Amino acid sequence: MKKPLATYNIEINETDSRGDSLLIWVAILDRRFKCEVHRTGTRQASLFVFDSKDNDKIIYESRVSLSYDAKFGSDIADVTEWQEMCSNAVDAMVN
């Protein structure tokens, strides 16, 4: 079973994503859902949403593209798309 790559402190809403070259982007949604993008290729990645209240069960997974190979960090357009995907996945689960 896939597990989050980042270290999370859900109580204070912080993440530490340093040290893992596969980890492109991390976010915490509603102090519960761990959102991560993992590199799978030069311009390809997978987006995961993990539910921290259900043993980090994956509630959403999708293949995504990386603009400009994300060598210097995530592209703002990519991040905007990922945020929307994560929000939609959580909304669909909760509602």
* Mean pLDDT, residues 70-76: 81
Backbone φ, ψ for residue 14 (5° rounding): -120, 155
Alpha-carbon distance of 90 to 34, in angstroms, equals 11
> Is 17 in a helix, a strand, or coil?
coil
- Per residue in 18-72, pLDDT tens? 556 788 899 999 999 999 999 998 889 999 999 999 999 999 999 999 988 777 7
At residue 20, the pLDDT reads 61
With 80 as the cut, is the pLDDT of residue 4 above it? Answer: yes
Q: What is the identity of the amino acid at 37?
A: V
With 90 as the cut, is the pLDDT of residue 3 above it? Answer: no
Alpha-carbon distance of 56 to 77, in angstroms, equals 27
At residue 84, the pLDDT reads 98
pTM: 0.85
- Which carries the bigger pLDDT value, residue 10 or residue 7? 7
Alpha-carbon distance of 4 to 50, in angstroms, equals 7
Alpha-carbon distance of 34 to 93, in angstroms, equals 14
Gyration radius of the chain over CA positions = 13
Phi-psi region of 61 (alpha: psi -120 to 50; beta: other; left: phi over 0): beta
